[in-house]
Amino acid sequence: MKVQSVVIEAKDLTIGYRHGKRGEVVHSHLNFALCRGELTCLLGSNGAGKSTLLRTLAAVQPPLSGDITLLGKPLASYSPKERSREIGIVLTDKTQAGGLSVRELVALGRQPHTGFFGRLGKEDHEIIDHALEAVGMAEKASKYTAELSDGERQKVMIAKALVQECPLILLD
């Protein structure tokens, strides 16, 4: 039997929204582990809390209670840059990057791997090219994102997550 390494784990996790001192609980007592190399699908009706869970796992919003560990360390102990090396997330929110080309937006996903000035090297450009090919957007690399359909914009955001080269990608 092959032992899978756990990438992210939730223990007694409660997710929801804070309203002042009160919290609106969406789900509580969640326990699960996502392992390297696995594809996991979360199904539910609109408003069931799928996006809330994904945003919580990516530290976009805090949990109401419980523990989340990423690669064996508490998720809260990671800096934003460290988290961006480990978690990529594609949300359903409409991207407000109309002034950027497709290539420029995807290149932002390399930020965790570039130096202080964010200069891209040859390898970075190859990774970007590969991701654009993988999502079928290579021919539109020079187009402005404002010129894309919503579906094409989602493909670009998936390419941006791919170039992060992280062990966990969350797709909403």
Interval 112-171: pLDDT, tens: 888 777 789 999 999 999 999 999 999 999 999 999 999 999 999 999 999 999 999 999
Q: Based on the fold, state whether residues 111 and 51 are members of the same structural domain.
A: no
Q: What is the pLDDT of residue 3?
A: 56
Q: State which residues form the domain around 151.
A: 102-171
Q: Can you read off the two tokens belonging to residue 5?
A: 């390494």
pLDDT tens digits, one per residue of 15-64 = 999 887 787 899 999 999 999 989 999 999 998 999 999 999 999 999 99
128: helix, strand or coil: helix
Among residues of the chain, what percentage have pLDDT more than 70?
A: 98
Q: Based on the fold, state whether residues 74 and 127 are members of the same structural domain.
A: no
Give a yes or no: residue 113 inside a domain: yes
Q: Based on the fold, state whether residues 67 and 111 are members of the same structural domain.
A: no
17: helix, strand or coil: strand
Distance CA 86, CA 100 (A): 25
Half-sphere exposure for 106 (CA within 13 Å, toward CB): 32
Q: What is the pLDDT of residue 50?
A: 94
Q: What is the largest CA-CA distance in the chain?
A: 51
Who contacts 166 (Cβ-Cβ below 8 Å, separation ≥6)? 84, 85, 86, 87, 88
Please indicate whether residue 108 or residue 19 has the higher confidence score (pLDDT): 108
Q: What is the pLDDT of residue 1?
A: 44
Q: What is the pLDDT of residue 71?
A: 95
Q: Based on the fold, state whether residues 14 and 46 are members of the same structural domain.
A: yes
Number of domains in the chain: 2
Q: Based on the fold, state whether residues 71 and 14 are members of the same structural domain.
A: yes
Q: Based on the fold, state whether residues 56 and 111 are members of the same structural domain.
A: no
Give a yes or no: residue 87 inside a domain: no
Give a yes or no: residue 11 inside a domain: yes
Question: CB–CB of 168/34 below 8 Å?
Answer: yes
Q: Based on the fold, state whether residues 106 and 149 are members of the same structural domain.
A: yes
Q: Based on the fold, state whether residues 117 and 156 are members of the same structural domain.
A: yes
Q: What is the pLDDT of residue 117?
A: 77
| Confidence bin at 98 (pLDDT 50/70/90) | confident
Q: Based on the fold, state whether residues 74 and 107 are members of the same structural domain.
A: no
89 pLDDT higher than 90: yes
Distance CA 168, CA 164 (A): 10
